[in-house]
Structure 1
Amino acid sequence: MENTLISVAGENKAHKEIPGNPSVATSSRHQLNTRANGEPLRVLSEEDWKFWIENGYIVIRQAVPKEQVQVLADFLWEYENKDPKDPETWYKPTLPMKMTELNNTGMVEIYNQQYLWDNRQFPRVHQAFADIWGMEELWVTIDRANLNFPIRPGHEYKGFIHWDYDPETKPQNVQGVLALADQTDENMGGFQCIPELFRTYDTWKLTQPEDRNHFKPDTTGFTPTKVKMEAGDLLIFNSLQPHGIRVNNSKDKVRIAQYISMMPAEQDNEEMRQWRIRSWQEKMVPEGYAFPGDPLHREKQHPIAQLSELGEKLLGLRKW
């Protein structure tokens, strides 16, 4: 097992001023899978594939066993020192974010704990992303989790729609979220997106002013799709898909999720590879526009996560 350490220079600096996860490239040199030669799918069905191409997102049902995601969900409550049965413990002050629309949305600054890695290295998760990319040689994002509570006075936020990457750059990238608890109630928050805008972007942009915000579209005339998920379901979406978190208007239901995505491994980018290894070894967090980190450095108290052979490859510790 390699133990080489480097400075933080390997982190993707493009994400200092824009959203997106700095643990991987902003856009891949590889194109997303088109299945031009009709190659078989691993996890997605043909119906899933058609939906993915037309709508820019897909939900893989039971990508991870319910009992496995429950372990992480339970841990997150403990990590945040909150009681799932006592709403009075849910609304402690949180660190302000540069990306202000994420304030009060319940981001949990934890990135390399064992249970997160258990889900990242679960084979069915990897195989789903392999279908999307048309290749198995992938790196996983080093990303966090979410405990999204019902809004109450003093703890409000607005539902929002945005892009993490400027769609004008046509990024070859995908993002993903794993449900750690059922989120089938549309009122309890969760993922929302606008497939119609995803499909019609090239004509829609012609109707927009030249100085429009390239990360926050004017959604007038569009109705966001509220995607329902059950614990263990994995949602993958194209980075050209306008998306966001919807407001949790429920009385007492909490949306719990882990952010997971994969991109083609950049095995010739040694600086990035070593930064990823160091992040795992030293529990370093990605730093960026949407990633404030944990000022208490709580995660550094945990042991280094144990990786399977697949996990080592997804990190970059072992080469494909």
Structure 2
Amino acid sequence: MAGNALHGIAGIEDYWERRTMRSRRPAPSAMADRILLDLLGLGIEQALQHLGQTRPDFDAFAAWVVATAGPPDPEKIARYNAWVAGDPVPEATAREFAAIDAMAPVLDADDLAQWDRLGYVVLRRAIEPDEAAAAEALLWRLLDARPDDPSGWYGPRTNGIMIQHFQDPVLEVARRSKRIYKAFAQLHGTGDLWASTDRMGFNPPEHAGYRFPGPHLHWDMSLASPRPLSTGGILYLTDTDANQGALQVVPGFHHRLDGWLAEIGDADPRTVDLSAEAVPIPARAGDLVIWRHELPHGASPNTATRPRMVQYVNRYSPEEIEQRVWL
């Protein structure tokens, strides 16, 4: 039976029941659901859309998981089950953490000082240029477009600049990169991090018939205290100038967020325009920009002649405090 492919994963049937509306039980935790999908190699929107729209039986769900993302990694299953049970991590996972801890730093003292001061850092040459070029080529194929024909850059899309593609060997390069893993471990202070299964992005230049659709400056977390350390990451697949739709952030906002919230009083913080303070972050192909989630951030209008092409890459701690109040 296809369901055997997911046998032994804690809570997997409960997740399937909840997301196909067969059960109204609340989730044990948002973090458990998040890790479960990354264990399976599925994007959040991808899984929710499939389960909500098709409402498959469990065997059909398992078959779809394997067809989409391959069989789950037994070591990841063991790690996840240990976390759910509150047990120590398995030996293989402990060895991986130790190896990351023993690696030479990939972010130097200046990088870490910038991280503390501004709330973002650029990991140079996070992946090799040929690896970035392979991901760029994948994105052109997905778009059925060519870099030398701008007329094909503006086809109809339902997710704006987001390209809902999650599974491909070239995307796994960054997700499995030890250099990238080490950077996140330095920032989080631990190697106990899960890699996210995220999508790609394509931000073409503006012209008379096309205007940047967003996302504009926003937060991906609740602004209520306490706020755990949470990060975002964007990997440039081509050289990206400041005016080429680059990621923009409000630098250092993590230092003044609480005071700013007090200043605006009852105003909805998500409707306050902070664009005058935003700074675009240019970088080279294969560079990874990592930012703290307290920073307002977003893509920017592309006023150059080349598109911005990216892969979203992140790692997170399973011990992040869950924010139950949304602000």
**TM-score of Structure 1 vs Structure 2, range by shorter chain:** 0.5 to 0.7
| Equivalent residue, structure 2, for 1:124 | 179
Q: Is the 8 A contact 1:64 1:232 kept in 2?
A: yes
Cα 1:114–1:107, aligned 2, differ >3 Å: closer, same or farther?
same
| Equivalent residue, structure 2, for 1:142 | 197
Which of structures 1 and 2 has the larger relative contact order (alpha carbons within 8 angstroms, sep 6+)?
Answer: 1
- Which SS does the other structure have where 2:277 is aligned? coil
Q: Structure 1: which 5+ runs fail to align?
A: 16-20, 24-38, 98-102, 267-320
Q: Is the 8 A contact 1:42 1:131 kept in 2?
A: yes
One-letter code of the match for 1:177?
A: I
Pick the structure with more helix per residue.
2
| Equivalent residue, structure 2, for 1:107 | 162
- Which SS does the other structure have where 1:94 is aligned? coil
Distance in 2 between the 1:94 and 1:245 partners?
17
| Equivalent residue, structure 1, for 2:313 | 260
Aligned mate of 2:221, from 165, 168, 173: 165
Alignment of 1:245-256 (within 5 A): 245-250=299-304, 252-256=305-309
| Equivalent residue, structure 1, for 2:131 | 68
| Equivalent residue, structure 2, for 1:178 | 235
Farther off after superposition, 170-179 or 158-167 = 158-167
Distance in 1 between the 2:218 and 2:272 partners?
6
One-letter code of the match for 1:111?
A: F
Q: Is the 8 A contact 2:118 2:253 kept in 1?
A: no
Offset at 1:42? Answer: 2.0
| Superimposed CA distance per residue, residues 83-124 of structure 1 (whole angstroms, 9 cap, x where no aligned partner) | 1110111111111x5xxxxx3xx2111112111111210110
| Equivalent residue, structure 1, for 2:15 | 9
State the number of aligned residues. 234
| Equivalent residue, structure 2, for 1:225 | 279
| Superimposed CA distance per residue, residues 196-217 of structure 1 (whole angstroms, 9 cap, x where no aligned partner) | 433211221222141414x454
One-letter code of the match for 1:178?
A: L
Distance in 1 between the 2:103 and 2:140 partners?
40
Distance in 2 between the 1:217 and 1:121 partners?
38
| Superimposed CA distance per residue, residues 160-205 of structure 1 (whole angstroms, 9 cap, x where no aligned partner) | 211111222413311101111000x222111000014332112212
Q: Is the 8 A contact 1:59 1:235 kept in 2?
A: yes
| Superimposed CA distance per residue, residues 205-231 of structure 1 (whole angstroms, 9 cap, x where no aligned partner) | 222141414x454317x4211111101
Q: Is the 8 A contact 2:162 2:199 kept in 1?
A: yes
Offset at 1:265? Answer: 4.2
TM-score, length basis structure 2: 0.65
Identical amino acids, percent of aligned pairs: 27
Cα 1:113–1:216, aligned 2, differ >3 Å: closer, same or farther?
farther
Q: Is the 8 A contact 1:197 1:204 kept in 2?
A: no
| Equivalent residue, structure 1, for 2:73 | none
Offset at 1:22? Answer: 4.4
Farther off after superposition, 74-83 or 201-210 = 201-210
Offset at 1:41? Answer: 6.7
| Equivalent residue, structure 2, for 1:299 | none
TM-score, length basis structure 1: 0.66
Cα 1:66–1:40, aligned 2, differ >3 Å: closer, same or farther?
closer
Q: Is the 8 A contact 1:162 1:216 kept in 2?
A: no
Alignment of 1:1-320 (within 5 A): 3-4=5-6, 6-7=12-13, 9=15, 22=44, 42-95=105-158, 97=159, 103=160, 106-157=161-212, 160-169=216-225, 170-183=227-240, 185-213=241-269, 215-219=270-274, 222-250=276-304, 252-265=305-318
Q: Is the 8 A contact 2:122 2:289 kept in 1?
A: yes
Distance in 2 between the 1:149 and 1:115 partners?
22
CA RMSD, Structure 1 to Structure 2 (Å): 2.8
